[in-house]
Every structure is written in C-alpha cells, then in structure tokens.
Structure 1
C-alpha cells in the first residue's frame, strides 16, 4: 500500500505539471497572438509526444524492466517546464511542451506496472488509486496556475519545475523498491480471461479503442477549451474560468476512484455501460444550460465519464495477459494521442464555427457506448 500511495502521489505530481500547459493557453494566446488552431497544435505536440512513445516504452520494459526510468522521465518534464517559461517563439513553445510529453510517455507505462505489482490482486482498485492521483493533479494544476501563473505571466511556469524535482526524489525511492521486488520470487496472481478466441480479443480491443475515442475527444473539449467556452458564453473572467475548470477536474478525480473497485466486484462491462452511456443525457443538454446548470452538469459529466478509464485499462490488461507494459502504454498513449488530436481538430472547428458549436457536436460522442453490447462479460467469464 505504501508503494501504491507513492506511485499515486507521483502521478498527482506528474499530471499537476502537465495540466499547467492548457491552463496557460489564455496567456500564451494573448502574448503570442495565437489562433485557436495554433493553440490546438500546441496541445497536439504535447499529447502526441506523450502518446507515440508509450507503447514502445511498454514493449521494451516488458522484456527489460528499468526501475529508474521513472526519475529519468521526470527529468525531461523538468527541462520542458523550464523551457516553456523562457520560450520566446512559437516553435520554442512546441519544443518545450514536447519535452514534457516525452517525460509523460516514460512515466505512465512503468508507473501503471508498479501499481499492478503492488495491488495484491485487486487490480481495478489499484488502477483507480493510481489514476485518481493523476486526476487530482490535473484538477490542482489549473488552480495553482490561476494563483501563480496568471499573476506572474509565462515565467511563472518555472515554479512548477520544483514539483518535478520533488517527484524525481520520490520516484527514485519507488525505483529502489521496484529493483528489490524484481529480485524476489514471484507469486503468480492470474487475472487473465479464459480461452477467448483471438478474433474476440481483437474485436474487444477495437471496441475499447472506440470508447477511448468517445471519452477523450469529449474530454478534450473540456481540458483545452472549457475556459474559452465559459468566457465566450457567460462572460466570466480568466480567474473564474480557471476555478470552474478546477471544479470539473475535481469531479473527474472523484469519479475515477469508483470505476476500478466496482469493476473488481461486478465486472468491467457494467462500469463501461454506466460511465459512457450514462453521461449521454447530460452531454446533450449541457450546451443549452445557463451558467449554474452548466456548472452542475459539468460536475455530473466529470463524475460519470471518469469512471471509464480504470475499467478500460484493466479490461485490456486481462485480455492480453503478460503484456502489462505494452497494454498500459497503448491505452495511456491513446488517451494522450486522442486528446491531442481532439484538441487540434476541435480548435480548428472552433475557428471555423464557434466554441458553442463544438460543445453541441461533441455532445453526441457518448453514443459510441452502444458498442459495449459486443464486449464479453468479464465478470461471468471468470473461473
């Protein structure tokens, strides 16, 4: 449990630093005279570097575990944040966020593996605790950015590099445990699904990828453009919009903790039905609500949608046993990649139309959840 808490706290620090990037978009947009499309490209550069490398890291570390790769990855994040605070051109911004993305791509596959190793067989609970750390970090980041960066400007990002140093020290301790753990005899705890045909596995993984598309394209509308939506539609201030983004992301953090443990008890498929399709009525109504109801619906949507990802990751790990790093890398990479593509696409769409239209279009994305019907029921399949 101590290691699980430590890796969850590391995830909090890692994602806190990552969330600073979209939080400073209003400042960068004004200072560098950027379009929404250019803002989207910054997010794309960050999230593509955070996604493309993850499966490769996972494949390599499945065969050759590297306990101290975690503090090394955090070093890239440190350099990226310092570079972002000093960037004077648009291209420097792209390089800086790419370095932060590389740090993330090294962190997530191995950190997810350590969460599973320290789970004691309760993989859903461990994955939820690991991910909720990241969610809380993502929620706290915009709040700290509103306090530190908004008042100090771009140079204020440098303060968050101190968080990277703290995370490097914590992850070095975790790396020592991981190294010692690999030297001990392993007690096998199998959670693989029995005798599923290869076509069923491939179909199931494809459906899970579709659910990821639904979830993270919709989430991109919030993480990258919710502040702009609130300022354009309701004329709130930058500080107020950052606070409301924090409220949404805090709801995401709270919702994440439920998906894994419930999946351990009643099956991942039940969680997916609720967490994808359960959000549909609220996403459809959100674009037509006033400010108070927008806040309320955003909290409900965050709570419901966020329970999906722990269930998706553990479901995929059970479908492909023995490839924890690869599966974690693919699905964490998908989460970043789809979010980045979504941010870029939605930014361009907002330039052509409006932010309000983007939210009305994205409201239909949870309908992809009807594909869950074709997934095998993992709870009933267990011996």
Structure 2
C-alpha cells in the first residue's frame, strides 16, 4: 500500500497535462492483474494445484526490475523541479476552505459506495452465480473475469473522458449511472446477469481515477497525501465491505446481499454537491 501514493505522484509528473489518463493507466495495471486472477485460477490453479501459483512470482520479479528504471527517472525529475518551484494559479483559488473540505467529504462518501459495492461483487459474485444458476466453479470464475476486465477498461475510459469534459461529470455519471443496471442484476436470467455485470463494471470503475485526480486538484501540492488517503480508503473499505457482506450472507444468504448491495450506487447522487473545477479553471 505504501507504493501507491508515490506511484500516483510519478504518474502525474509523467502526465503531460493529461492527469486523468495517466492516473488511469497506472491504476489499470493493478485492476488488470486483479481481473486476470480469476481467469488464471480457473485455467491454471484449479487444474494443476496450488503450487502453480509459484509461476506468478515471475511477474513480481519483472515488475521490480522495471521499477528500478522508473525510480532513476523519478529522481532526475524531482532534482530538476526542486529548484524551479513557483506560484501557479490553482483551479481551487476561488473556493473557500469549507467548500474544499465539503467536496473531499463527498468524495469519501462516493469512494465508500463504490468500494463497498465492488467488495460485494468481487467476493460474492461467483457464489451468487453458483447458488442461483447452478453453474460450475470455472464458469463463475470466467464470469467474474468478465466483470473485472470491464472494470479495467472502465478505468482507462474514465481517466480519458475526465480530461476532456471534466472529472465531476465522470464521477457523477459513473457511480449513479451504474445504479439501474446494478439494481436489475439480482432479478435477471444468467446471460442477462453477466451482461449487466459487464456494464456495471465498465461504468462504475471509471470513477476512481477521476475521484483521485479531482481530490489532488482540491489540495494542490499534496498529491502523495491525497493519494494515500484515497488509496487507503479504497483498500480499507474493500476489506471491511467484504467482511460485512460475508457476515450478512451468513445471516440472510447470498441473494439478500446482492439485493442490498445494488442500492449502493444510488449514493452517486451526492456528486451533485461537487464544485465544477473545469469551469473554475476557465474563469
């Protein structure tokens, strides 16, 4: 988890004015790995046993080698910047401290709704498919891969669109926009359930890079602190959400968990309280 705040700073330094897209590219690495996990479990681990997991360590070693080059580049850039700092007009110059803090609180609520819903999907979607439709473990894992792969694509799309039209609209549309599809999912047939899951993954995952870059614009010069806060919330809420829904599933069942969790994207309505930083930047 210590890796993510500083990596976000590196991504924004390399952004070239496209912070949303840069943040999305960084995040899609992790989400892409998460997405391919169930597929690899179905195709490699289940047929060959748990020792097959050792082969995946090769990816970690390759990542460490690549990061040594990134670290050297980052050091050069930081050294060049250190003596050239000057006052730059911020997109939040016209906002009061109270308005900025309220906007950050709204982003925390949105992160809660998104991460709790994703915790429900990533932890219990496979069990839901097996319980309701009687599909095999391999089929359920492939269906989860489809949802997570759509989420990875959504991250890239959200960053790119946020740079073009403004991050507030991506945040609002991605979380609230996923609500009708999520709400319909528990009542659909097998094929439609998977289609709806793909749409939800594509839409709702476009929010996080937009949320993170929007938050760093609210607190200019504090990219590491803000990235640490929101990545910490993301990981922490995901773990809490998985535990909470597991406790709830033991009491009321998997189907009830899905009915309740599909209401979470409705919290996206609070994005209406976010100031439009794109307009402020043009004033």
Normalised to the residue count of structure 1, the TM-score between the two structures is 0.70
Report the counterpart of residue 72 of structure 2 in structure 1: 176
Q: For structure 2, list consecutive stretches of 5 or more residues without a partner in the other structure.
A: none
Q: SS of the residue aligned with 1:183?
A: helix
What is the rounded CA distance, in whole Å, between the counterparts of 2:188 and 2:168 in structure 1? Answer: 31
1:342 pairs with 2:238: no
1:212 corresponds to which of 111, 136, 151: 111
Alignment of 1:323-362 (within 5 A): 323-362=222-261
Alignment of 1:261-340 (within 5 A): 261-340=160-239
Q: Deviations over 1:143-174 (max 9, x none)?
A: 11222211233333222222211111111111
The CA deviation at 1:183 is 2.0
Q: SS of the residue aligned with 1:184?
A: helix
The CA deviation at 1:187 is 7.2
2:51 corresponds to which of 134, 150, 155: 155
The CA deviation at 1:192 is 4.0
Report the counterpart of residue 34 of structure 2 in structure 1: 138
Report the counterpart of residue 247 of structure 1 in structure 2: 146
The CA deviation at 1:191 is 5.4
Report the counterpart of residue 155 of structure 2 in structure 1: 256
Q: SS of the residue aligned with 1:223?
A: helix
Q: Deviations over 1:114-149 (max 9, x none)?
A: 100100121111112222222222211221122221
Report the counterpart of residue 128 of structure 1 in structure 2: 24
Alignment of 1:6-21 (within 5 A): none
RMSD: 1.5
The CA deviation at 1:260 is 1.6
What is the rounded CA distance, in whole Å, between the counterparts of 1:356 and 1:214 in structure 2? Answer: 19
Alignment of 1:197-208 (within 5 A): 197-208=96-107
Q: Deviations over 1:251-274 (max 9, x none)?
A: 111111111222122211111221
What is the rounded CA distance, in whole Å, between the counterparts of 2:270 and 2:74 in structure 1? Answer: 38
Report the counterpart of residue 26 of structure 1 in structure 2: none
User: Which stretch of the first structure deviates more once superposed, 261-270 or 152-161?
Assistant: 152-161
What is the rounded CA distance, in whole Å, between the counterparts of 1:160 and 1:324 in structure 2? Answer: 31
The answer on whether the counterparts of 1:192 and 1:320 sit within 8 Å (CA) in structure 2 is no
The CA deviation at 1:223 is 1.1
2:60 corresponds to which of 145, 160, 164: 164
Report the counterpart of residue 61 of structure 1 in structure 2: none
Q: Deviations over 1:75-131 (max 9, x none)?
A: xxxxxxxxxxxxxxxxxxxxxxxxxxxxxx122111111100100121111112222
Q: SS of the residue aligned with 1:297?
A: helix
